[in-house]
Amino acid sequence: MIEIKDLHKSYQMGSNSLHVLKGIDFSVKEGELVAIMGSSGSGKSTLLNILGMLDEADTGSYFLDNVPIKGLNETKAAQYRNKFLGFVFQSFNLINYKTALENVALPLYYQRKKRKERTEKAIEYLGKVGLAEWATHLPSELSGGQKQRVAIARALAADPKVLLADEPTGALDSKTSYEVMDIIQGINDEGKTILVVTHEPDIADMCKRIVHLKDGVIVEDKKVEQVRASQYV
Amino acid sequence: MFDRDRWQEIFEAIGKNKLRTFLSGFTVALGILIFTVLLGLGNGLLNSFLSSFVDDAQNIIFIRAGRTSKAYKGFQENRKIQFENEDFEFINTNYKGKVEYSTPRIYRNGQAKYKKESGSYTIIAVNPEHQYLEKTIMMKGRYINENDIIDKTKNIAIGRLVEKDLFKNEDALGKSLDIDGIAYKIVGVFQDSGGDNEERIICMPYKTVQLLFGNNEKLDQINLTYNMAMNTEQAIAFSKQIEEDFKKKFDVAPDDQSAIRVRSFAEGIKETMVILGGIYLVIFVVGIGTLISGIIGIGNIMTFSIKERTKELGIRKALGASPRSIIAMVLQESVLITSVAGYIGLILGMLSLRLIGNNLEEFFILNPKVETGVIVVATITLIFSGLIAGYIPARRAAKIKPIIALRDE
């Protein structure tokens, strides 16, 4: 599903050049649930941004579902993001003047789906995260965990190939974190490929594979015995 | 443009950001309001000036006599100059071809009485051609004619308001009117666009007045219109020539300003038009300035609004919004706000102009109005300015990098 070869990325910081990714080789197969771990500054967010087409690598190749991701203009990148990827952020990033339902329906709007279909799908995915009866509420009326569940529903609504979650539990307490991880595991069980960036070991242990990043290189890549979140919920 | 969903998105964004929308709309509405009112008042000024010319024929020349202010050719100063019939005939024989219509004038006041109603009115003794000089319109009957002059009849034409004052609902035509004890026959009722004073006038044949009051040949004033074939310069030269000839005729010093006064509109019209053009230009510049500041205002607020919405636009882009769709959204919102607010401003402006109406007539503002053409142009300008105001912020919005917009903290 994801094929990365010798990926390099550096940022210009004034006169200094900061080499963030120093040759990443990494592949993810369909249906995997991968945790990307590392301390801050290890390059894990940069890697996720490149995977999410929010940023572009300097050198190296990136194939997503066998499509080369290189030299995309903004319009094309937007199209690919919409088609291939679902995003879940640490700070939820819901549009605050739109209801939960409207937030979930937004990616479908950019897929030019009909209004009726958008609403139906949005309700379906809200139901999947257990928030069907909160459809008409604004984000300000939801708890942190509920917001993240709406964000997950939104990421899934466009039926992406890969779900990218950047510290999805970073802003949540541990009980709520496990609830969110339970949902993520449930989605993965249905076959969706998911990448989770986290620095919490207990969250990483709930994935099937852990990739450790340090100073811009992968120092460890191991399969783990998945801890089910449902036992804590 | 006609994507129903995008409109829905825009209405949603507008509806949920009412203050922002109101503020940006307000500047535009105010700009248009001021623009419309200024332009309307400018037109009112123009109307007022034009109507003051329309009252009388535009090519009219007045010749008036006064007292000399300088001793000349053995005459003392302060000598009274008096026109007589011979001077009136002098005009018609000397300036053949240059004169279109001409009339002498003698002013009197008289107490007019009909049954129990009475009132004091200005009486003007005239020649039949006076009708064309004053642009008098006959409502019924006829004006003074040549036979009235020759026969020195006691026929009179009265203004509309004289009839209204004295005859109430009766028809004055053919009735007899008592003026200072003498009975006259009303042969016509006229109206004049010069206002109420011009319709409270009684006109009678000048030779009748001369016969009845002193049996002389004295005239107060001579009015004439020059041949319209003359251009403004020629007309000014013509009125100068009349002045020179009359000064010679009455032995008045060439530089005596008070003994013989010849006044034409030709010079006045030219000057007034230049001044009016200036005023109009100023109004236009001020109006356009206000409009531009309104547009800049909306551009400003749109820029601010984009900044405020950076995160939202970043989310939209992460979810698959193309730069084009972001530009279209911002532009459409901007155009919608400008058009609606501008239209409200326009309506309010027209409403205020209607309310002002002729209340400012004493400030020379008559019937202030804005033409339909201007409104059409204003509407197009509005939509266009909405595009301009929105474009720069829209482009900036499209360039927002989701990675930066979504960065936490």
Radius of gyration of chain A (CA): 17
- What's the pLDDT tens digit per position in B357-395? 777 777 777 777 777 787 778 778 777 877 888 888 888
Residues 14-73 of A with CB under 8 A from B: 49, 52, 54-55
Q: What is the pLDDT of residue A193?
A: 94
One DSSP character per residue, B173-195 reads TT-EEEETTEEEEEEEEEE-TT-
Number of helices (H) and strands (E), helices first, in chain A?
7, 10
* Residue B281 burial (C-beta neighbours within 10 Å; 0-12, 13-18, 19+): exposed
d(CA A97, CA A94): 9
- What's the pLDDT tens digit per position in A143-197? 998 999 999 999 999 889 899 998 899 888 989 999 999 999 999 999 999 999 9
The residue of chain B nearest to residue A171, with distances taken between CA atoms, is: B408
Asked whether residue B409 carries a pLDDT value surpassing 50, the answer given is no
- What would the mean pLDDT of B122-131 be, rounded to a whole number? 91
b vs e for B211-228, b when ≥16 Cβ sit within 10 Å of the residue's Cβ?
eeeeeebebbbbbbbbee
Other C-beta atoms lying within 10 Å of the C-beta of residue B117: 12
- Pairing outcome for strands B155-159 and B176-179: unpaired
- What would the mean pLDDT of A102-121 be, rounded to a whole number? 90
Question: Does A83 contact B at CB distance below 8 Å?
Answer: yes
Tokens 């009957």 correspond to B141
Q: What is the pLDDT of residue B54?
A: 56
What is the helix (H) or strand (E) element at residue B84, kind and residue range?
strand B83-84
- Give the pLDDT band of residue B336 (cuts 50, 70, 90): confident
Q: What is the pLDDT of residue B353?
A: 85
First to last CA, chain A: 31
* Segments of A52-191 assigned E as strands: 59-64, 67-68, 85-88, 162-166
Strands of the A193-197 sheet, one edge to the other: A85-88, A162-166, A193-197, A33-37, A209-214, A217-223
Yes or no: say if B290 and B26 are a contact pair by the CB < 8 Å rule: no
Asked whether residue B56 carries a pLDDT value surpassing 80, the answer given is no
Q: Which of B16, B320, B406 sits opposite A107 (nearest CB)?
A: B320
Q: What is the pLDDT of residue A205?
A: 93
Among residues B358, B325, B361, which one has the least CA distance to residue B10?
B325
One DSSP character per residue, B128-157 reads TTHHHHTT-EEEEE----HHHHHHT--EEE
Yes or no: say if B299 and B262 are a contact pair by the CB < 8 Å rule: no
Asked whether residue A210 carries a pLDDT value surpassing 90, the answer given is yes
Question: Does B312 contact A at CB distance below 8 Å?
Answer: yes
| 3-state SS class at A60 | strand
Asked whether residue B209 carries a pLDDT value surpassing 60, the answer given is yes
Domain ranges in chain A are 2-232
DSSP A222: E
Q: Which of B319, B398, B401 sits opposite A110 (nearest CB)?
A: B319
Distances (CA, A) of B348 to B22, B153, B345: 16, 58, 5
User: Chain B residues with CB inside 8 Å of A55's CB?
Assistant: 403
What proportion of chain B, given as a percentage, has pLDDT over 70? 96
Strands of the A59-64 sheet, one edge to the other: A16-28, A2-13, A59-64, A67-68
Mutate to test the interface with B, among A9, A11, A93 (most CBs of B within 10 A): A93
Q: Which residue has the higher pLDDT, A84 or B405?
A: A84
Q: What is the pLDDT of residue B77?
A: 85
Q: What is the pLDDT of residue A163?
A: 93
What is the helix (H) or strand (E) element at residue B390, kind and residue range?
helix B372-398
Q: What is the pLDDT of residue A137?
A: 93
- Give the pLDDT band of residue B53 (cuts 50, 70, 90): low
Mutate to test the interface with A, among B4, B316, B319 (most CBs of A within 10 A): B319
Highest mean pLDDT among B44-48, B110-114, B282-286: B110-114
Q: Which of A79, A91, A98 sits opposite B320 (nearest CB)?
A: A79
Report the sign of the C-alpha dihedral through residues B135, B141, B145, B149, in that order: negative
Cβ–Cβ gap A87/B318 under 8 Å: yes
- Pairing outcome for strands B83-84 and B218-219: antiparallel
Q: What is the pLDDT of residue A204?
A: 92
Looking at the domain A2-232, which fold is it? Rossmann fold (3.40.50)
| 3-state SS class at A112 | coil
* Segments of chain A assigned E as strands: 2-13, 16-28, 33-37, 59-64, 67-68, 85-88, 162-166, 193-197, 209-214, 217-223
d(CA B390, CA B332): 8
**A41: left (phi > 0), else alpha (psi -120 to 50), else beta?**
left
- What's the pLDDT tens digit per position in A11-21? 888 888 888 89
Yes or no: say if B68 and B316 are a contact pair by the CB < 8 Å rule: no
- What's the pLDDT tens digit per position in B279-313? 878 877 887 887 787 778 778 877 887 888 888 88
User: Chain B residues with CB inside 8 Å of A90's CB?
Assistant: 408
Among residues B195, B59, B52, B231, which one has the least CA distance to residue B132?
B59
d(CA A21, CA A100): 36
